[in-house]
Amino acid sequence: MPPVNPKTSYPSGLDCRLAVLGRDARLTPHRRAVFQTLAESTDHPTALDLFTRIKTRSSDISLATVYNCLEHLTSNGLIKQVHLERGQSRYCANLHEHVHFHCEKCGKVTDAHPMADFDPATYWNLPKGAKVTRTDVAIHGLCPDCTK
């Protein structure tokens, strides 16, 4: 097999996602910056976390703009909003089927993907005839670092 460098030979995650969703790719530079920053973050940042990170590359952005961009990206299905408990929403750019593992001690949020093809209806006793459109499951506990 020829060597493949995913960093250079593939379009950005956002371009892939827009292609899959068939959306207009002409996102504003701010929306693009917010998406890219989120896609590079694996820690499910809040809007404020993202604002702090984006400021280093796009100094003209305001916190209100970050909120607007997140709202736009969420409502277009490009990212997910994560509600774990009281407090600020966090955001996730991973749209593969997954649940969130939340450490109750350090607050770290990790993506957990299903072991096999996931059909929520075989795991949960849902109302008869219900059709699942998306799952929003969080599992709480202690992360490996916090159990040491």
Q: For Zn ion, which is the closer residue by CB, 28 or 135?
A: 135
**E strand map for 14-148:** 80-82, 90-92, 99-103, 109-112, 138-141
Q: How many CB atoms lie within 10 A of CB 17?
A: 21
In the complex, the smallest distance separating the C-beta of residue 106 from Zn ion, rounded to whole angstroms, is 3
Say how many CA atoms lie within 13 Å of 94 toward its Cβ.
Answer: 19
Q: Which is nearer to Zn ion, 55 or 138 (CB)?
A: 138
Least gap, CB of 71 to Zn ion (angstroms): 18
- Applying CB under 5 A, which residues contact Zn ion? 92, 94, 103, 105-106, 108, 111, 143, 146
**Closest distance of CB 98 from Zn ion, Å:** 6
Q: What is the C-alpha separation between 72 and 44, in angstroms, rounded?
A: 17
Least distance to Zn ion, CB of residue 109, Å: 7
CA 139 – CA 142 distance, rounded (Å)? 10
Q: Is the CB of 55 or the CB of 99 nearer to Zn ion? A: 99
